[in-house]
Amino acid sequence: MALHVVATRSDGSVFTLPWSTPLAEWDERYVVPAARGLSRHVVRIVRVDQQMLAVKETDERIAFREYRLLRELQRLGQPVVVARAVVTGRRTEDGTELPAALVTDHLHYSLPYRTLFQHGMQGEQLPLLVDALVVLLVRLHLAAFHWGDVSLSNALFRRDAGGFAAFLVDAETGELHPTLSEQMREHDVAVGLENVFAELLDLQAAGDLDPDVAAHDVVELLSERYRALWQEVTAAEEFDAAEWWRVEERLGRLNDLGFDVDELDVRADGERVRITPKAVEAGHHRRELRELTGLNVEDEQARKLLNDLAAFTAAHDLGALDRATVARRWLTTVYTPLVGLVPAERSAEVNPPEYFHEVMEHRWRLSEQAGYEVDIFGAATDFIEHVLPNRPPDVQWRTDATGGPGTGSP
Rounded Cα–Cα distance for residues 222 and 282 (Å): 19
pLDDT at site 282: 80
CATH architecture of 4-107: 2-Layer Sandwich (3.30)
3-state secondary structure (DSSP) of residue 271: coil
Please name every residue paired with 168 in a beta bridge, in sequence order, or none if there are none: 80, 155
pLDDT at site 266: 82
pLDDT at site 38: 62
pLDDT at site 229: 93
3-state secondary structure (DSSP) of residue 123: helix
pLDDT at site 144: 95
Amino acid residing at 29 = R
How do the pLDDT tens digits run along the chain, 410 residues long?
688 888 877 667 788 899 999 999 998 888 887 656 566 788 998 988 878 899 999 999 999 999 999 999 999 989 999 999 999 999 998 999 999 999 999 888 888 999 888 887 888 889 999 999 999 999 999 999 999 999 999 999 998 888 899 999 999 999 999 999 999 999 999 999 999 999 999 999 999 989 889 999 999 999 999 999 999 998 888 888 788 788 888 888 888 888 878 778 888 887 788 888 876 778 888 889 999 999 989 988 998 999 999 989 988 899 899 999 999 999 999 999 999 999 998 888 899 999 999 999 999 999 999 998 899 999 999 999 999 998 888 775 544 333 333 333 32
pLDDT at site 362: 94
Domain chopping of the chain, boundaries: 4-107, 111-234, 237-282, 299-390
CB-based contacts of 381, cutoff 8 Å, min separation 6: 341
Buried b (16+ CB within 10 A) or exposed e, 66-78: bbebbebbeebeb
CA atoms within 13 A on the CB side of 408: 8
Q: What is the strand order of the sheet 51-58 is part of?
A: 4-7, 83-88, 100-105, 51-58, 43-48
pLDDT at site 404: 39
For the 111-234 domain, the top CATH level (class) is: mainly alpha
| Rounded-to-10 torsion of CA 364, 369, 372, 378 | -60
CA atoms within 13 A on the CB side of 272: 5
What is the 3-class SS of 132-159, one letter each residue?
HHHHHHHHHHHCCEECCCCCCCCEEEEE
- Whether 55 and 99 have beta carbons less than 8 Å apart is answered as no
Instruction: Tell me how crowded residue 294 is: count the other CB atoms within 10 A of its CB.
Output: 10
What does each C-alpha distance from 188 to 141, 143, 181, 222 come to in angstroms? 9, 14, 11, 12
Global confidence as pTM: 0.82
pLDDT at site 6: 86
Instruction: Tell me how crowded residue 2 is: count the other CB atoms within 10 A of its CB.
Output: 6
pLDDT at site 65: 95
